[in-house]
Structure 1
Amino acid sequence: MADAELTVHTEAVIGHVDPAVHGHFSEHLGRCIYDGIWRRDGDEEVGYREDVFQLLNDIELPVLRWPGGCFADDYHWEDGIGPREDRPRRRNLFWAQGPEELPEESNAFGTDEFLEFCEEIDTEPYLATNVGSGDPQEAADWVEYCNYDGDTELANRRRKNGREEPYDVKYWGIGNENWGCGGQMTPEQYADEYRRFATYVGTTDNLMLDHDLELIACGFEQHEWNRRFLEKVNDSPWGVEFPLDHLTFHHYYGRTMSVSEADEDDYDTFLADALEMSDHIETIAGAIDAVATTRDIGVIVDEWGAWHVEATADNGLEQPGTVLDALSAAAALDIFNHHSDVVTMTNIAQTVNVLQCLVETDDDEAWARPTYHVFDAYAPHQDNDAVQTTVTTPSRDLEDDRDLPLVQGSASTDGDETFISLTNLDCREAQTVDVRVEGATPDSVEATLLFADNDPKTEVGPDNADEFEPEPTDVDVDGNTISVDLPPATVATLEMT
């Protein structure tokens, strides 16, 4: 007898799963850039780390956000272009960086290095402009440098720096966390700044560019802030035509949990915190619908993931990579599928070495963390249509009066195949799940399982990284029902034709 049931309603489409929903984030923070994507300052060789490059290329990142984060609102892009030996060394106002944990930025890795890296791994770049300490002209100049194909000083400077063709960057964030490290602004102050920046950045695609830009406004997890921001933007000469395409918020969880000292009750609380992502998406989407009634504005979660007490500013926000974090990533990706009608992008924090990274490095070694394998396993959802699922699951009562549903899942289809993901969030007991597929009878089912033999808080390193890779698993098929056994703290995927 099954412990849980998941019914897949193949005809009930929620929305298209934009590949950008599986996006990523990289900031000049700790060892994310230097010793992560780029060789550390002082190395004899200069350039990208080939081992990291290969791992990220294999996973097919759809979009990558840069240069921050808090770093973005004290970053001046012209410091990071031109001959590397002529670039100024600047402060890093917010973060320790590199192996020496210095609050300094060499600018060895800048705009051209980032955009060329994105091209090499076939990922869409997302640039965050400096609103906190910058100005609209600086932001518009950056767009011109990256995207203009004409005969201006900035376009020719790009050519002089080795790039003839424009980069055609589509996504432009107007600031980052401007309610906090980006200027401590009220929503009304940020709305005024946003309108100024959007005027100059957004107008560049009027005559100068042959493609549209997508402007991304900074929102907040405290949702009253979003309502006030939207109302202030609405009260402008633009009238009903909103000058933005997406509104963001950030959702970190696990801030009070130590990975090494956590017990099973802590696991449950941590995973319940991760599931609150769903409520935040619904609330910010509701604010958009209430105020911006004439414009289709997408929701972006451009920073999210586990942030544990081990990650501090002094150590560059490094923390152990575990199965427990990977379970939370699987649950979040299912939530994004459930809200694919409004969610247009997300960016897990961060790509290499920092927080819930996918890849970790140590000197000349690089390896995949458990979260990497979750993203790889969920990749078939990309570009599919997410469909409704109904989950009947046992739950566990928590001490804070919440409950943790123990089984989560989602499904999508491309018209020919149906792809189903399942997560057992119960770190104590196995769960047998019956998956009922309405409107289709499977001819064949290919199933994989992640983390079946791994303790939830086992730390991954170069010596045990291959133990976290997916393995084929058996399922029972009876008519339109697929039965799958999920050991504790595991993730399964079913590909049905």
Structure 2
Amino acid sequence: MNVQMADAEITVHTAASIDRIAPEIHGHFAEHLGRCIYGGIWHADSADGDGFREDTVSLLEDLELPVLRWPGGCFADDYHWEDGVGPQDERPRRRNLFWAQGPEELPEESNSFGSDEFLELCERIGTEPYLAANVGSGSPQEAANWVEYCNYDGDTELADRRRENGREDPYGVKYWGLGNENWGCGGQMSPEQYAREYRRYATYVGTQANLMFDHDLELIACGFEGHEWNRRFLEEINEAPWGAEFPLDHLTLHHYYGRGTNVAEADEDKYDRMLAEALEMERHIERMAGAINAVATTRDIGVIIDEWGTWHPEATADNGLEQEGTVFDALSAAAVLNIFNDNSDVVTMTNIAQTVNVLQCLVETDEDDAWARPTYRVFDLYAPHKGNEAVRTSVDTPTRDVVDGDSNDELPLVNASASVGDDGTYVTVTNLDCRSAQTVDVSLEGTDLNEDDIRGEILFAEQEPDYAVTKHNADEFTADDLAVPADGSSIEVELPPSTVAAISVE
């Protein structure tokens, strides 16, 4: 092995367990927005009962999505689920209050893709559904009815209606979000107002699990990136005079980054700023977990990031929030997935925005074809972490000062996470330096490293950060083998600028 001074050193503490990495940390999100549903997943306004895009479905199935959130997003709090069930030619055409959608970019909803179509999609691709109920303009009765329609196996009108619509057995949906961004597009509510509405909805939705089903429901409350809002919400929940003290299983927040910068027009300093903004995810997780621990002392409540990813200025409501899929976006996603692994003791699910064609999607389509984006390749590379036990990593890395107005931050140029499972130890590493290569020394405590037991892969080694995917070059973003020379005590890898690597040790 050619020994040289490493730029960064990573120590994997294989016996220092954090927690199991919930597979749901690799979750996804699909909203009735732009070409995500109509044109992306479902052939636009198809009424033949079999309108799925098989090319999209195949790509999603191959990725083994653990959970998929639907129907929004802002769309959820003006969506009435009964409009989207029953014979498709009898479903009403409604407004889409928040988004233009479909190839025609109309603010209208045909309802040709509704609950049964979404839940069939989830079964086709082997994923758990996560439904977001309408709190902003709906009612507890409407939300409870939706749960009954999806999950009850008795002889009520709603269970019979599901059967008449072609589904005999209940779907068994366990994840139920009660509202979305209710501090904003979901009703402009104060945290106290939302807490009172949430308890009302949770009463009528959650009670069903005690009597009508043989499985639990997991109730998800909407939180906010402004963390004082979360504290006030939890305190109002805590002060309720009756009932379950904390009728929620998870609390959410949304974190987008890159809104001020187009990747194609960015320089290296702007890349650094966007990456530093992405890494703020860790601070948000810590603050939300801190609020939960300070107030909800009688309940184990998980943190969900059910919308996250890059949102660049070219993605506007007028174009259905479409933006190019670049190496840079995928690099930032890898760094954030490392953060989720390192916080697996509190993070129970995340959902990148969005699945197809919108924002930092994993799949892109045109009328004829569907193809994987660079971020898809990152999720595929990180898949072995799912279900493993996350373990502590110490990362000694060079940093770079990031100045943005009056703020001054430091960008760690290398980040990493590690997990241990039945097949050994899996380590993922990013070189967040978009200018220079980084030599990284990786050691595993208590492990004698034999090159025959080590395998490495790398993404984006030959590509610039602004290199964007098209249908013609999509295969160029697949992983390559990475040389992983070892000397018994450590592995030394050379990571070109803006790359993502994975090292497996049996």
Same fold (TM over 0.5): yes
Q: Does 1:410 align with 2:426?
A: no
1:25 to 13, 22, 29: 29
Q: What is the match of residue 96 of structure 1?
A: 100
Deviation at 1:322, TM superposition (A): 0.2
Which residue of the partner structure matches residue 485 of structure 1? 494
- Please give the alpha-carbon distance, in whole angstroms, between the structure 2 residues aligned to 1:201 and 1:12: 39
Cα distance between partner residues in 1 of 2:487 and 2:122: 45
Q: Which residue of 1 aligns with 2:462?
A: 453
Specify the alignment match of 1:48 in structure 2.
52
Deviation at 1:49, TM superposition (A): 0.4
Q: Partners in 1 of 2:447 and 2:184 — Cα distance?
A: 49
Structure 1 residues 431 and 91, CA, compared in 2 at 3 Å: closer, same or farther?
A: same
Deviation at residue 43 of structure 1 after TM alignment: 8.9
Distance in 1 (alpha carbons) for counterparts of 2:490 and 2:293: 38
- Residue identity opposite 1:472 in structure 2: D
What is the CA–CA distance in structure 2 between the aligned matches of 1:393 and 1:238, rounded to whole Å?
51
Question: Using the alignment, how far apart are the partners of 2:501 and 2:242 within structure 1?
Answer: 48
CA contact (8 A) 2:484 2:491 kept: yes
Partner of 1:76 in structure 2? Answer: 80
1:426 and 2:433 equivalent? Answer: yes
Q: What does 1:11-22 correspond to in 2, within 5 Å?
A: 11-22=15-26
TM-score under structure 1 normalisation? 0.99
Deviation for aligned residue 1:42: 5.9
Q: Is the 8 A contact 2:31 2:75 kept in 1?
A: yes
**% identical equivalent positions:** 71
The whole-number CA distance in structure 2 between the counterparts of 1:238 and 1:326 is: 47
Work out the CA distance in 1 between the residues paired with 2:241 and 2:322.
Answer: 45
Corresponding residue of 1:303? 307
Show CA shifts across 1:390-412 (max 9, x none). Answer: 00000111123111100000000
Structure 2 distance, partners of 1:90, 1:43, is 16
SS in 1 for 2:130: strand
- SS of the residue 1:302 aligns to: strand
Give the corresponding residue for 1:160: 164
Q: Compared with structure 1, are the counterparts of its residues 210 and 29 closer, same or farther at alpha carbon in structure 2 (3 Å cutoff)? A: same
Map of 1:164-243 to 2, 5 A cutoff? 164-238=168-242, 241-243=245-247
TM-score by length of 2: 0.97
Answer whether contact 1:24 1:347 (CA < 8 A) is retained. yes
Amino acid in the other structure paired with 1:384: N
Secondary structure in structure 2 of the residue aligned to 1:5:
strand
Q: Is the 8 A contact 1:413 1:419 kept in 2?
A: yes
Task: Output the amino acid matched with 2:416.
Answer: G
Q: CA deviation at 1:261?
A: 1.1
> Out of 338, 357, 364, which is 2:368 matched to?
364
- Per the alignment, in what secondary structure is the counterpart of residue 210 of structure 1? coil
Q: 1:398 pairs with 398, 402, 405, which one?
A: 402
2:449 corresponds to? 442
Inter-partner Cα distance in structure 2 for 1:240 and 1:45: 42
The aligned runs of 1:328-367 (5 Å cut-off) are 328-367=332-371
- SS in structure 1 opposite 2:486? strand
The structure 1 segments of at least 4 consecutive aligned residues displaced by more than 4 Å after TM superposition are 42-46
Tell me, in whole angstroms, the C-alpha distance in 2 between the residues paired with 1:238 and 1:460. Answer: 54
* Partner Cα distance (2:325, 2:42) in 1: 21
1:240 and 1:292 in contact (8 A); partners too: no
Q: Matches of 2:216 and 2:184 in 1, distance apart? A: 29
- Please tell me whether the aligned partners of residues 132 and 179 of structure 2 are also in contact (alpha carbons under 8 angstroms): yes
**Contact persistence 1:234–1:240 (CA under 8 A):** no
Corresponding position of 1:137: 141
Given that 2:10 and 2:441 are in contact with CA atoms closer than 8 Å, whether structure 1 keeps it comes out as: yes
Partners of 2:426 and 2:502 within 8 A in 1: yes
What residue ranges of structure 1 are gaps of 5+ in the alignment? none
Matched, 1:38 2:42: yes
CA 43–78 in structure 1, closer or farther in 2 if over 3 Å, else same: closer
Per the alignment, do residues 88 and 239 of structure 1 end up closer, same or farther by CA in structure 2, a change over 3 Å counting? closer
Contact 1:39 1:45 in 2 (8 A): no
1:93 offset after TM fit, Å? 0.1
Tell me the secondary structure at the aligned position of residue 263 of structure 2. coil
- The 10-residue stretch of structure 1 (39-48 or 274-283) with the greater mean CA deviation from structure 2: 39-48
Cα distance per residue 1:39-70 (max 9 Å; x no partner)? 11269895110110110000100000000000
Which amino acid counterpart does residue 352 of structure 2 have in structure 1? I
Residue 43 to residue 208, structure 1, CA distance change in 2 (3 Å): closer
| Counterpart-to-counterpart distance in 2, 1:11 and 1:481 | 17
1:402-440 Cα shifts (integer Å, max 9, x gaps): 111000000000155000000000010000100010022
Deviation at 1:239, TM superposition (A): 6.5
Q: Which 10-residue stretch deviates more, 40-49 or 323-332?
A: 40-49
Q: In 2, distance between residues paired with 1:486 and 1:435? A: 12
Letter of the 2:390 counterpart: A
Give distance in 1, aligned partners of 2:293 and 2:10: 30
Query: CA contact under 8 A between 1:259 and 1:310: conserved in structure 2?
Result: no
Q: Which amino acid aligns with 1:263?
A: D
1:471 to 473, 480, 485: 480
Change in 2 beyond 3 A, CA 1:369/1:134: same
Unaligned runs of 5+ in 2: none
User: Deviations for 1:238-291, whole angstroms, at most 9, x for unmatched residues?
Assistant: 467310000000000001111221111111100000000000000000000000
Question: Which aligned pairs between 1:267-306 and structure 2 lie closer than 5 A?
Answer: 267-306=271-310
